[in-house]
């Protein structure tokens, strides 16, 4: 059913030379927005828990430690 929904996009991508595979996934929001003060400035951040073994800025995480990361400028309304 999913393949039929995206059939036109698949044909277009295949015509351009892309290899295509169809897979249904469920999405779960695993982060939230936050603010961190640094040097007198309030920086918008994304707060979440990196996966076990994931390396962020040279640090390997255990899958339980929560971090706040400044990804760059965030939109005022994330929706």
Predicted confidence (pLDDT) at residue 54 exceeds the cutoff of 70 = yes
Instruction: Write out pLDDT tens, residues 15-33.
Output: 999 998 888 777 777 889 9
Bridge-partner residues for 46, per DSSP?
Answer: 33, 69
For the chain, the domains span 2-69
Q: Extract the tokens encoding 73.
A: 């400028």
| Average pLDDT over all residues of the chain | 86
Give which of 40, 65, 44 is closest to 55, Cα–Cα: 65
> Using alpha carbons only, how large is the chain's radius of gyration in Å?
19
Give which of 12, 28, 29, 30 is closest to 20, Cα–Cα: 12
In this prediction the pTM is: 0.52
Residue 75 to residue 79: CA distance in whole angstroms: 9
Identify whether the C-beta of residue 41 lies closer than 8 Å to the C-beta of residue 34: no
């Amino acid at each position: 059913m999913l393949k039929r929904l995206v059939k036109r996009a698949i044909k277009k991508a295949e015509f351009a030379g892309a290899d295509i595979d169809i897979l249904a996934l469920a999405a779960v929001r695993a982060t939230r927005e936050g603010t961190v003060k640094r040097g007198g400035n309030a920086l918008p951040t994304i707060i979440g828990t990196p996966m076990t073994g994931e390396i962020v800025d040279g640090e390997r995480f255990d899958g339980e430690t929560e971090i706040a990361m400044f990804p760059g400028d965030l939109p005022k309304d994330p929706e």
